[in-house]
């Protein structure tokens, strides 16, 4: 465990690159059950299980990058593709004795809870991102899903390997709601989570397409906008729907999907009464044609 600030982003990358990425106990149990089914398990079913755990998702991509053949001309951008390249049995062999999140943080309930909250937030972002990508008829919704799931991976890693520092950042923000997250992170970690995220995804060899989808500086791209909106809304709504930034998130979603305010609750899977006050200024009709696809299941 790291309990002090490091000098810069590169120092954090060096420290975290050596770490053995843990998985959730539920994930490990699910994988054992799937392996026991023998020939009945396939890459799609296995990929769906992996995508519930951002830590294992990152681990699979890192392993795939290490195994990548020099002759491979295209990036592997989905978990299902990675599994097909690795083979199911070789994959199962690589995860036989994975460390568990609950074992490493079991004696620190506050930090374990902090980690689980961020993972749940990432799952919610991934669910929304996938649903919106399908609604937009995106060519590969899983790429969008993975980019949203891994967007906050640096924060997840801090809760795993520098839990005391992550808790300190959370306490600083709770004590001063006006404090910018990047300011608190720089003071406590010696880097920002955004800088660390960008450095880590390059170090672990994540496909260029996924790193682009996670890069908010290219938000003019509708696919990137899809990811960014899902991540932002998941973060802003994590503690309820009172956050002052949510109306802007909803406006952005309406523009991305060409939705009316009345269509938003169904798209988000929330009670209309919950967000009606937040969309009151946004009720002007949209000129773009409206789609009418039901929400996609995750």
Per DSSP, what are the bridge partners of residue 23? Answer: 100
Helix (H, G, I), strand (E, B) or coil at 245: coil
pLDDT-derived band at 73 (thresholds 50, 70, 90) equals low
Measured at the CA of 99, the angle between CA 27 and CA 5, to 5 degrees, comes to 115
Task: Please list, in sequence order, all residues whose beta carbon lies within 8 angstroms of the beta carbon of residue 174, skipping any fewer than 6 positions away.
Answer: none
Burial 230-242 (b: 16+ CB within 10 A, else e): bbbbbbbbeeebe
The arithmetic mean of pLDDT across residues 8-28, rounded, is 93
Task: Please list, in sequence order, all residues whose beta carbon lies within 8 angstroms of the beta carbon of residue 144, skipping any fewer than 6 positions away.
Answer: 129, 130, 132, 133, 138, 213, 223, 226, 227
Q: Does 71 score more than 60 pLDDT?
A: no
pLDDT-derived band at 70 (thresholds 50, 70, 90) equals low
Q: Do residues 150 and 54 touch, judged by C-beta distance below 8 A?
A: yes
Q: Does 86 score more than 70 pLDDT?
A: yes
Q: What is the average pLDDT value for the chain, to the nearest integer?
A: 88
Nearest alpha-carbon partner for 196 in 6, 12, 7, 3: 12
Domain locations in the chain as residue ranges: 21-102, 107-259
pLDDT tens sequence across 238-274: 988 888 899 999 999 999 999 998 899 989 998 888 8
- Pairwise CA distance, residues 98 & 96, whole Å: 6
The arithmetic mean of pLDDT across residues 50-72, rounded, is 84
Helix (H, G, I), strand (E, B) or coil at 55: helix
Dihedral of CA 157/199/187/243: which sign?
negative
Compute φ and ψ for 126, nearest 5 degrees.
-65, -40
What number does CATH give the domain 107-259? 1.10.3210.10
pLDDT-derived band at 296 (thresholds 50, 70, 90) equals very low
Q: Does 279 score more than 80 pLDDT?
A: no
Look at residue 223 in the predicted model and tell me its pLDDT. 95
In this predicted model, which residue has the larger pLDDT, 235 or 18? 235
Look at residue 291 in the predicted model and tell me its pLDDT. 36
Look at residue 252 in the predicted model and tell me its pLDDT. 95
Look at residue 281 in the predicted model and tell me its pLDDT. 57
């Amino acid at each position: 465990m790291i309990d002090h600030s490091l000098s810069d982003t590169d120092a954090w990358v060096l420290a975290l690159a050596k770490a053995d990425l843990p998985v959730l106990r539920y994930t490990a149990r699910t994988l054992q059950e799937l392996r026991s089914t023998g020939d009945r398990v396939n890459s799609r079913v296995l990929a769906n299980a992996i995508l519930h755990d951002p830590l294992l998702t990152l681990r699979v991509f890192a392993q795939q990058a290490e195994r990548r053949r020099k002759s491979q001309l295209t990036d592997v951008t989905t978990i299902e593709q990675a599994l097909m390249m690795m083979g199911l049995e070789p994959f199962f062999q690589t995860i036989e004795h994975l460390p568990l999140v609950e074992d490493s943080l079991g004696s620190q309930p506050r930090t374990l809870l902090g980690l689980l909250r961020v993972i749940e937030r990432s799952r919610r972002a991934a669910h929304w991102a996938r649903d919106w990508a399908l609604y937009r008829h995106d060519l590969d919704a899983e790429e969008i899903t993975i980019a949203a799931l891994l967007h906050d991976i640096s924060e997840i890693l801090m809760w795993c390997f520098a839990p005391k520092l992550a808790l300190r950042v959370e306490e600083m923000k709770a004590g001063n709601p006006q404090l910018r997250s990047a300011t608190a992170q720089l003071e406590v970690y010696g880097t920002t989570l955004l800088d660390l995220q960008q450095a880590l995804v390059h170090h672990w060899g994540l496909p260029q397409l996924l790193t682009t989808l996670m890069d908010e500086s290219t938000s003019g791209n509708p696919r990137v906008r899809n990811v960014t909106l899902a991540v932002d809304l998941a973060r802003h709504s994590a503690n309820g729907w009172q956050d002052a930034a949510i109306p802007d998130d909803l406006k952005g979603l309406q523009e991305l999907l060409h939705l009316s305010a009345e269509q938003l609750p169904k798209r988000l899977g929330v009670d209309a009464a919950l967000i009606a006050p937040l969309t009151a200024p946004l009720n002007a009709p949209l000129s773009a044609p409206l789609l009418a696809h039901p929400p996609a299941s995750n």
